[in-house]
Amino acid sequence: MLVIITSDPREGLRTAEALRMAGGIGVWQQVKVNVCLRHEASRAMGERVEALHGGRLFEQFIPMVRESGGEVYVQTNEETCMEIDPDTLLTRNLKEQRLAKLAAEADYVLRF
């Protein structure tokens, strides 16, 4: 399953709730769940996450997705790339081709 999140976490809880859902599904160990935080949503992996709506949920459910065998990727834009630490950008940043491949390989793709 691939969960693509594009909603802005500065504007409400939609991003946090989508991550909570992804983390909860992954715990079942029935399906591998990968998450892509695109553009504005990539702020959830930023250094000032506590200032966002649902900041605690990001800190709780991003590791939960990973512990269940999935991955949390980012796809930043010009604004958000400055908020993400360089290590995350190097190891978890997706190009369009890789995101398309993940979507094509997934049995389910959910968008938030």
13-67 pLDDT per residue, tens: 999 999 999 999 998 889 999 999 999 999 999 888 888 998 899 999 999 999 9
pLDDT averaged over the chain?
94
Q: Rounded to 5 degrees, what are φ and ψ at 70?
A: -95, -175
CATH superfamily of domain region 2-111: DsrEFH-like (3.40.1260.10)
pTM higher than 0.85:
yes
Token pair 């081709």 in the structure block, residue: 97
pLDDT for residue 25: 94
Does position 100 have pLDDT exceeding 90, yes or no?
A: yes
Q: Kindly report the length of the chain.
A: 112
Contacts of 6 (CB under 8 A, 6+ apart): 38, 39, 40, 41, 111, 112
Q: Domain spans of the chain?
A: 2-111
